[in-house]
Amino acid sequence: MNALYLVFGALFGFILSRARATDYDTIVNLFRLVDFHIAGVMAVAIAVAAAGLYLLRQSHAAALIGCPIEIQQKPSHRWILPAGLVFGTGWALTGT
């Protein structure tokens, strides 16, 4: 099973690399509002994750060990938005 995780991780990293999500200039251009390519990559990733979670909930799927997969909604906290703004600001300033 660990080899499978390694393969999926390597594939994920390769896809991010091919999408230029690891390129400094691409990140900087996103925050300079010049190139929105990475914003599109993020939007596609969010859409795929949302569709996958929806399908998991609807199918009542079971994990490989047989127990049901339960996806619960996370609680919201008042500090999430300010923390996200600090994270995004740091990301924009460093470009990494």
Length of the chain: 96
pTM of the predicted model as reported, rounded to 2 decimal places: 0.65
Cα–Cα dist 94/11, whole Å: 26
Cα–Cα dist 17/9, whole Å: 12
pLDDT band of residue 95 (cuts 50, 70, 90) is low
pLDDT of 21 over the 70 cut: yes
pLDDT band of residue 86 (cuts 50, 70, 90) is very high
DSSP state at residue 66: S
| DSSP H helices in the chain | 2-18, 24-31, 37-59, 80-94
Total count of domains within the chain: 1
**86: containing domain:** 2-94
Q: What is the pLDDT of residues 52-84, one digit of tens each?
A: 888 888 888 888 788 888 888 888 889 999 999
Cα–Cα dist 68/60, whole Å: 7
